[in-house]
């Protein structure tokens, strides 16, 4: 059964990636993301993931580790710089995505 696709935008943030709202000072690697209020779910998004932002046939699997707070969040999901760079040129800054 196929999962429902959601649409939004992805931006990226740069290190340091800790502390995070979900894991404090525990390092979760670099394939991570911060969820906007739209998908944060009061912290329910912590550890969830596998948003699959796509550009053409590219995709990336990330783990939600943080909140991208309203007012400063520029996208639906704020990827680590490494995760963003794996699917798009960071010079773009913002890309359209589909995620699940």
Domains recognised in the chain with CATH numbers: 7-39+55-99 (2.40.40.10)
**Among all chains, which residue has been given the structure tokens 């550009």?**
55
- Give pLDDT, residue 72: 86
- At 74-86, the pLDDT tens digits run 888 999 999 999 9
- At 23-68, the pLDDT tens digits run 999 999 999 999 999 889 999 999 986 555 444 557 888 999 999 9
For residues 2 and 59, give the distance between their C-alpha atoms in angstroms, rounded to a whole number. 16
Question: Does the pLDDT at position 17 exceed 50?
Answer: yes
Strand partners, 36: 68
- Give pLDDT, residue 85: 92
């Amino acid at each position: 059964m196929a999962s429902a696709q959601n649409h939004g935008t992805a931006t990226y943030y740069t290190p340091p990636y800790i502390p995070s709202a979900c894991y404090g000072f525990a390092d979760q690697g670099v394939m991570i993301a911060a969820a906007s209020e739209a998908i944060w779910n009061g912290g329910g998004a912590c550890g969830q993931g596998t948003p699959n932002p796509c550009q053409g046939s590219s995709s990336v699997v990330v783990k939600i580790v943080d909140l991208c707070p309203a007012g400063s969040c520029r996208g639906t999901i704020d990827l680590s710089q490494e995760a963003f760079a794996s699917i798009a040129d960071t010079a773009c800054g913002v890309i359209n995505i589909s995620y699940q």
